[in-house]
A = this chain, B = another copy of it.
């Protein structure tokens, strides 16, 4: 185990390993070698060994990794041994779909608040049972619900403004669905989910190789 810097890509792969290990667990596989797991994940086996070795010695030489143990360790590394409280900002089509989406809940992400600035939406109850709050009440609601991650699903033109509110309320992490680079101070994290960029990549490949 070393304390050198962890590549960002390593964290992303850990997330992928975690999902695959969950599948293996469901298939009742007890032990897996880095070689086999690598094949499943489409990466190099040394990559897997190196990725997990950043954090400890979780394997058994001559044997492989115990699926249950490795899964547990990876989840601990990622911080998935607890539930995380999300707040949705921007209750449009996409936002509503996200609240209803199963993938959040399954991994322990839970929407505890929802915000909008449209007076027609404020006070309404969503299908999930959540009440839509005014964005001005963010701090107050945060104190009550312990919001840990903000999910921004407003139009691009409003996204930075929303981010500023989240920063003000000291929400340290944001998942941004708007196609724009959000500026945050040190100590805050933003992850972008930008499907236009992905589509542009596909268009490029179709144009170039097709």
Q: Cβ of A200 and Cβ of B96 under 8 Å apart?
A: no
Q: Choose one: B93, B149, B196, B206; the contact of A172 (CB below 8 Å).
A: B206
User: Does B181 contact A191, Cβ atoms closer than 8 Å?
Assistant: no
Q: Is the CB of B101 within 8 A of A203?
A: no
Q: Is A173 an interface residue (CB 8 A)?
A: yes
**Of B149, B183, B201, which contacts A202 at CB under 8 A?**
B149
Chain B contacts of A14 at CB under 8 A? 200, 204
A12 CA / B93 CA spacing, docked (Å): 26
Return the CB mask of A188-210 against B: 1 if under 8 Å, else 0.
01011101111111111111111
Q: For A102, what are the chain B residues with a Cβ–Cβ distance below 8 Å?
A: 155
* In the complex, chain B residues whose CB is within 8 Å of the CB of A172: 206, 210
Which B residues touch A206, using CB under 8 A?
A: 79, 84, 148-149, 172-173, 189
Asked if A72 is at the interface (CB within 8 A of a chain B CB), the reply is: no
Query: Hey, which chain B residues are within 8 Å of A196, CB to CB?
Result: 15, 19, 103-104, 107, 109
Q: Do most interface residues of chain A lie in helix, strand or loop, or is the interface mixed?
A: helix
How many Å lie between the Cα of A101 and that of B193 in the bound state?
Answer: 14
How many A residues touch B, CB cutoff 8 Å?
60
In the complex, A18 has a CB within 8 A of chain B: yes
- Contacting residues, chain B, for A202 (C-beta < 8 A): 149, 173-175, 189, 191
With A97-B93, A202-B189: A197-B12 Cβ-Cβ less than 8 Å: yes
Any chain B CB within 8 A of the CB of A42?
A: yes
Verify A80–B12 contact, CB threshold 8 A.
Answer: no
- Provide 12 A-B residue pairs closer than 8 Å at the C-beta atoms, listed in order of the A residue: A12-B200, A15-B197, A19-B180, A79-B207, A97-B97, A107-B199, A149-B202, A149-B206, A173-B206, A187-B210, A189-B206, A191-B198
